[in-house]
């Protein structure tokens, strides 16, 4: 049998095709497909990181169809592509069952990327499946290193869930949408991540032991009550053609840079539905930090006055600050959410008179009064709440005290029209939207019968929200799916509620330690309200710095009252150097190593020729934090002059000298790299 060899010059790749095999080489990457076994392997620079992998789907009748079980001849086709990632080539291996179902394994190679993208497409008549797996391998890989760790990414940020960084084992958690396995000593690793969440929820499963992994799988159709919140299986996708999401697969020299690159590619392939925010990095205040359900016209306007008189220079690069009313703003609307909005309009006008931007809050996909029964009329229509509730195999979906509403139901959408319409009419410029994960729950049947999965329903609801707001507000997502929300919000809270203690600061920074890369998915990510009440000055430094490191500053204290912490924190909040860091709009990158649910102790960001290094001590006892200079881009054997931006003292930093803490707290250093 002759071997056909041809070069694709425009992408500097080589393709080899024989009766037994199919191989693509591009740069250092090699895709080797065994046409006899229906399996494939991926390697980079002669390091194999995916071996003997197959693809499969499970039909609604329980039948499993796997590429490595099909015996018919496999065909290979090649297609030139051009999309938001640029130019490239798609290679497709097709195989067919005896019943006429065709499996197409797509492999995408791009001219300007060393990331391979995989996709499984299935063609047939009246297909129905809730499990498509383009990547499945139980081959042992031992070439990655001897100290392997896996990062498990949560589906959302509800229930105080954390990211987890654990040594590879047989019981590692399934990671939602994206996962990495990496060598602790050399930082290189393998990344697999879904590039689309509009139809499927994805789980990335990586397991192994003794410095090797022996299971790696990317499953479209993943649900787990502890991760995705679903109490039932994934919805079935039906039709004559069904597709998995595209999955990025790459071998990366630095797993952190790999995640950042993944986020950038994701944003290109799943571009925002919401218009890009044209303003500067948001700063401001949110009422849930301390005032909570006691919010009223008096303490809200007193907070605005505090901004005007006590912190007039705490503004973003556009000279703006948001004053955001969280839940219970209907304390100011006699008659409830369908009542009189006159007082809210007065609040908006008062903020406007002070040069401040008024903000508000709502959870559009939850019913908080479900305990009162199903027959209550929902605002904006003749439908009852019982008609709006999302139906599941368990009955309904209740979490955090709220019951999920079907995003596709005309009653849910009419309710959004009337309440969001009133808030737009009031003149609010920002809205914090919350409990969005309720909108992504799998159901036994949505009102719109064309919608088959929770993620499809989520997209319907979020698109409707964006459309109703008409581009007039900054959209800030609180509890929400981590990746799918990026198309519909400008800004997203990185973790669940956190208030003021050093433990809560560490909890928030756990999400920054392993989720900072979302700064490239969203215009901004946020550390939640920063509360300083009743804490020591050093702990307050850490709380403030958690916001700076994440990317924005949203305060949370009751600013209608005078308190002892205010003079010192007001000084920091108006410090030009700190505001310069915030103006950059992007998160710091974590460095160092911690495991489990802990948070990194130091982070860094370069702006121009200045390097900023944030260091935290989460312990109440003295500590010495050692910084790996190489990780933050400094020369290990060199000494650097630094300024502590909190204390305004000059210091000398070196790799041999620890950062000393007497108690829990944080330090922020600026190093001029000239």
DSSP readout, 269-292?
HS--SSPPP-SPPPEEEETTTTTG
Token pair of 89 as six digits: 């080539």
Q: Give the per-residue pLDDT at 12.
A: 55
DSSP-assigned letter for residue 311: -
SS3 content of the chain, % helix, strand, coil (to 5): 25, 35, 40
Helix (H) or strand (E) holding 218: strand 212-220
Decide if 596 is inside a domain.
yes
Looking only at the bridges linking them, the beta strands covering 474-477 and 491-493 are parallel
**445 in a structural domain:** no
In the numeric block, the tokens 């509890």 are attached to 479
The predicted structure's pLDDT at residue 635: 95
Residue 497 has pLDDT above 80, yes or no: yes
**What are the backbone dihedrals phi and psi of residue 517, each rounded to the nearest 5 degrees, phi first?**
-65, -15
Looking at the chain, how many residues does it have? 674
Q: Cβ–Cβ contacts within 10 Å for residue 328, how many?
A: 16
180/167 Cα distance (integer angstroms): 12
User: Which residues have CB under 8 Å from 115's CB, separation 6+?
Assistant: 248, 249, 250, 261, 262, 265
Host domain of residue 658: 591-672
Is 260 in contact with 517 (CB distance < 8 Å)? yes
Query: Is the Cβ–Cβ distance between 316 and 281 less than 8 Å?
Result: yes
Question: Which ranges of 190-292 would DSSP assign to H, the alpha helix?
Answer: 255-269
Which ranges in 314-408 belong to alpha helices (H)? 342-353, 385-388
Q: Confirm if 445 and 391 have CB atoms less than 8 A apart.
A: yes
Q: Name the DSSP letter for residue 626.
A: -
Is the predicted pLDDT of residue 9 greater than 70, yes or no? no
Q: How confident is the model at residue 143 (pLDDT cuts 50, 70, 90)?
A: confident
In a domain, 232, yes or no: yes
pLDDT at 619: 96
Return the CATH number at 214: 2.70.98.10
283 vs 554: CA distance, rounded Å: 5
Look at 14-28, 117-131, 411-425 and tell me which has the smallest mean pLDDT. 14-28
Three-state DSSP class for 443?
A: coil
pLDDT of residue 73: 77
Q: Is residue 414 part of a domain?
A: no
pTM of the model as a whole: 0.95
Q: Where do we find the tokens 């019981």?
A: 171
Percent of the residues in the chain that have a pLDDT greater than 90, as a whole number: 93
Q: Answer yes or no: are the C-beta atoms of 551 and 281 closer than 8 Å.
A: yes
Q: What percentage of the chain reaches a pLDDT higher than 70? A: 98
Task: Give, in order, the Cα–Cα distances in Å from 663 to each of 239, 587, 622.
Answer: 61, 25, 5
C-alpha pair distances (Å), 401 with each of 353, 508, 647: 38, 23, 44
Residue 1's pLDDT band (cuts 50, 70, 90): very low
d(CA 569, CA 196): 42
- What is the structure's pLDDT at 366? 98
Q: Is 649 exposed, middle or buried (0-12, 13-18, 19+ CB in 10 A)?
A: exposed
644: its two tokens: 């502590």
pLDDT at 27 (0 to 100): 84
Q: At what angle do helices 537-550 and 566-573 cross, to 10 degrees?
A: 30
Given 234, 269, 304, the domain boundary residue is 269
Between CA 324 and CA 312 the distance in angstroms is 17
Reported confidence tier of residue 11, pLDDT bands at 50, 70, 90: very low
Dist CA 170 CA 181 (whole Å): 13
C-alpha dihedral (17, 216, 480, 364), degrees to nearest 10 = 70
CA 411-157-192 angle, 5° bins: 110
**pLDDT class for 501, splitting at 50, 70, 90?**
very high
Residue 427 lies in a domain: no
Q: Which of 227, 250, 269 is the last residue of a domain?
A: 269
**230 pLDDT above the threshold of 70:** yes
| Last residue of one domain, picked from the residues 269, 288, 307 | 269
Integer Cα distance of 272 and 267 in angstroms: 7
DSSP state letters, 70-115: --SPPEEEEEEEEETTEEEEEEEEEEE-TTS-EEEEEEEEETT---
Mean pLDDT value across the chain: 95
pLDDT band of residue 6 (cuts 50, 70, 90) is very low
Q: In whole angstroms, what is the distance from residue 83 CA to residue 356 CA?
A: 41
Report the domain count for the chain. Answer: 2
285: phi > 0 → left, psi -120 to 50 → alpha, else beta; which?
A: beta
Residue 123 falls inside a structural domain: yes
How far apart, in whole angstroms, are the C-alpha atoms of residue 95 and residue 197?
26
CB 57 within 8 A of CB 120: yes
Instruction: Kindly tell me if the per-residue pLDDT of 56 is higher than 90.
Output: yes
Q: Name the DSSP class of 590.
A: E
Amino acid 207: pLDDT = 96
**In angstroms, what CA-CA distances link 600 with 179, 507, 508, 588, 617?**
18, 10, 11, 12, 10
pLDDT band at 5 (very low <50, low <70, confident <90, very high): very low
Provide the 10 A C-beta neighbour count for residue 167.
15
Residue 463 in domain: no
The reply to whether 276 falls in a domain is: no
pLDDT in tens, 289-315: 999 999 999 999 999 999 999 999 999
391, containing H or E segment? strand 391-392
What is the domain-level CATH number for residue 654? 2.60.40.1180
Cα 289 to Cα 543: distance, rounded to the nearest angstrom: 13
């Amino acid at each position: 049998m002759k071997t056909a060899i041809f070069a694709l010059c425009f992408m500097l790749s080589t393709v080899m095709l024989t009766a037994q095999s199919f191989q693509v080489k591009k740069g250092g990457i090699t895709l080797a497909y065994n046409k006899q076994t229906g399996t494939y392997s991926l390697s980079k620079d002669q390091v194999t990181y995916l071996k003997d992998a197959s693809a499969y789907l499970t039909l609604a009748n329980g039948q499993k169809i796997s590429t490595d079980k099909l015996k018919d001849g496999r065909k290979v086709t090649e297609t030139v592509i051009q999309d938001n990632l640029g130019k490239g080539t798609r290679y497709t291996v097709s195989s067919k069952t005896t019943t006429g179902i065709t499996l197409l394994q797509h492999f995408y190679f791009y001219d300007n990327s060393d990331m391979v993208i995989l996709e499984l497409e299935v063609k047939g008549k009246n297909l129905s499946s809730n499990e498509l797996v383009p990547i499945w391998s139980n081959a042992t890989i031992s070439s990655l290193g001897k100290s392997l760790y896996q990062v498990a990414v949560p589906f959302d940020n509800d229930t105080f869930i954390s990211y987890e960084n654990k040594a590879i084992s047989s019981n590692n958690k399934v990671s939602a949408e994206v996962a990495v396995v990496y060598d602790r000593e050399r930082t290189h690793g393998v990344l697999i991540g879904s590039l689309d969440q509009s139809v499927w929820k994805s789980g990335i499963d990586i397991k192994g032991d003794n410095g090797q992994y022996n299971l790696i799988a990317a499953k479209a159709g993943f649900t787990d009550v502890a991760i995705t919140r679903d109490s039932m299986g994934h919805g079935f996708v039906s039709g004559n053609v069904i597709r998995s999401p595209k999955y990025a697969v790459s071998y990366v020299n630095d797993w952190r840079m790999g995640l950042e690159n993944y986020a950038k590619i994701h944003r290109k392939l799943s571009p925002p539905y919401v218009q890009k925010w044209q303003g500067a990095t948001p700063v401001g205040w949110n009422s849930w930090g301390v005032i909570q359900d006691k919010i009223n016209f008096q303490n809200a306007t007193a907070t605005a006055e505090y901004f005007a008189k006590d912190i007039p220079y705490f503004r973003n690069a556009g000279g703006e600050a948001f004053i955001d009313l969280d839940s219970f703003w209907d304390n100011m609307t006699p008659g409830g959410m369908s009542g009189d909005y006159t007082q809210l309009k007065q609040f908006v006008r008062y903020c406007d008179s002070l040069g401040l931007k008024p903000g508000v809050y709502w959870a559009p996909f939850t019913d908080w009064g479900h305990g009162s029964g199903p027959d209550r009329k929902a605002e904006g229509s003749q439908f009852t709440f019982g008609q709006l509730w999302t139906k599941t195999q368990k009955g309904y979906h209740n979490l955090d005290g709220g019951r999920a509403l079907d995003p596709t139901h005309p009653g849910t959408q009419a309710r959004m029209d009337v309440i969001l319409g009133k808030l737009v009419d009031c003149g609010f410029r920002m809205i914090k939207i919350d409990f969005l994960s309720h909108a992504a729950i799998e159901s036994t049947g949505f009102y719109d019968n064309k919608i088959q999965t929770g993620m499809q329903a989520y997209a319907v609801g979020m698109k409707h929200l964006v459309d109703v707001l008409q581009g007039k507000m900054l959209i800030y997502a609180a509890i929400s799916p981590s990746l799918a929300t990026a198309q519909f919000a400008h800004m997203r809270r990185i973790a669940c509620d956190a208030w003021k203690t050093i433990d809560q600061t560490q909890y928030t920074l756990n999400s920054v330690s392993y989720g900072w890369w979302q700064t490239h998915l969203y215009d901004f990510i946020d550390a939640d309200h920063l509360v300083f009440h009743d804490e020591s000055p050093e702990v307050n430094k850490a709380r403030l710095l958690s916001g700076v490191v994440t990317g924005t500053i949203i305060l949370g204290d009751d600013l209608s009252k005078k308190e002892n912490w205010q003079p010192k924190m007001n000084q920091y909040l108006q410090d030009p150097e700190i505001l310069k860091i915030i103006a950059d709009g992007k998160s710091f990158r974590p460095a160092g190593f911690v495991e489990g649910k802990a948070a990194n102790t130091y982070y860094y960001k370069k702006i121009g020729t200045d390097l900023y290094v944030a260091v935290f001590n989460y312990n109440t006892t003295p500590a010495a934090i050692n910084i790996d200079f190489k990780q933050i881009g400094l020369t290990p054997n060199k000494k650097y002059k630094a300024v502590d931006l909190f204390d305004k003292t000059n210091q000398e930093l070196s790799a041999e000298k620890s950062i000393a803490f007497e108690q829990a707290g944080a330090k922020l250093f600026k190093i001029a790299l000239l």
